[in-house]
Amino acid sequence: MSNQDETAENRLRKELPEEVPPAAAEAGAEAPESHPELTGRQRLVKGLWPPRVTRAQLIVALLLFGLGFGLAVQVASNSDGDDALRGARQEDLVRILDELDDRTQRLEDEKQGLEKQRDELENSSNQAEEARRQTVEKERQLGILAGTVAAQGPGITVTIDDTKGTVEADMLLDAIQELRAAGAEAIQVNGVRVVAGTYLTDSGNSVSVDGNKIHAPYRFQVIGKPQDLEPALNIPGGVVQTLEKEQATVTVERSDKIVVDALRAAERPDYARSSSR
């Protein structure tokens, strides 16, 4: 190669830039700005705050608040009802529980009796005869409730001696209602039969039952289960305690046979008629 050619080649090399190695190019390039990595707690806080509440979430929150408020009111109401029982004596609480159990048992017995009647009607070979028998039995039971037939059975006799003249008609009515609630099936007071429509009024120093004036001592003859009737009168704040506060003396006697023989005339209603055809 001639000297002229070498000179031209050297000139060309000076004019062209030298090739930059890839590693050098990467090193010379500006490094991207780096951010520190967030911790788990920082990511949780960033996701929760500021809160992003949707309309649906707000409605659910309001509903939950209303439900919680209602539950709080209910709990407070139940607590108020329990306060009255917390102050009662143990024997009073036991008596109340026994009475509730007895009432539950009476309802269960009544249910079983109705189911038995249904089964007898369904299974009887002569359904017409069975229906007539049950009709006669039902008529007898209704006659006892209506006071048109005499009745006898176990029960109690309640005697209220009112020497101070402080016993009023509403007190005797409370006694009748309590006895009915305890399962009394027939009641008479001083020879007057008590039925569904019986009313009591004050009449001077005495009391009138369905317009019949009666005087102390007031004597109740009651047919029913004695184990249910007597505790019903002796519950705390009940009939016996109320009468004793009025300085009246109350005695209750159980008996295997109480006779209720005061009768009421069968009355035909003025307006009501049977709807059966």
Pair 120, 212 in one domain: no
> Which structure tokens are listed for 42?
């920082």
Task: Decide if 141 is inside a domain.
Answer: yes
Q: Is the pLDDT of residue 27 over 60?
A: no
> Which structure tokens are listed for 139?
């008529």
Distance of CA 7 to the CA centre of its chain: 116
Task: Decide if 95 is inside a domain.
Answer: no
Pair 164, 138 in one domain: no
The three-point CA angle 132-134-137 to 5° equals: 110
Mean pLDDT in the chain? 79
d(CA 157, CA 253): 5
Task: Decide if 127 is inside a domain.
Answer: yes
Pair 188, 226 in one domain: yes
Pair 125, 198 in one domain: no
Task: Decide if 74 is inside a domain.
Answer: no
Q: What is the pLDDT of residues 154-170, one digit of tens each?
A: 999 999 999 999 999 99
Task: Decide if 233 is inside a domain.
Answer: yes
The residue written with tokens 């709990």 in the block is 75
Pair 123, 201 in one domain: no
Q: What is the pLDDT of residue 156?
A: 97
Return the minimum-mean-pLDDT range out of 2-6, 36-40, 43-47, 185-189: 2-6
Task: Decide if 87 is inside a domain.
Answer: no
Other Cβ atoms closer than 10 A to 168: 14
Residue-number span of the structural domain to which 195 is assigned: 151-260
Does this model's pTM top 0.75? no
Three-state SS for 129? helix
Pair 165, 189 in one domain: yes
Task: Decide if 39 is inside a domain.
Answer: no
Task: Decide if 135 is inside a domain.
Answer: yes
d(CA 216, CA 234): 21
Q: What is the pLDDT of residue 109?
A: 85
Number of structural domains, the chain?
2
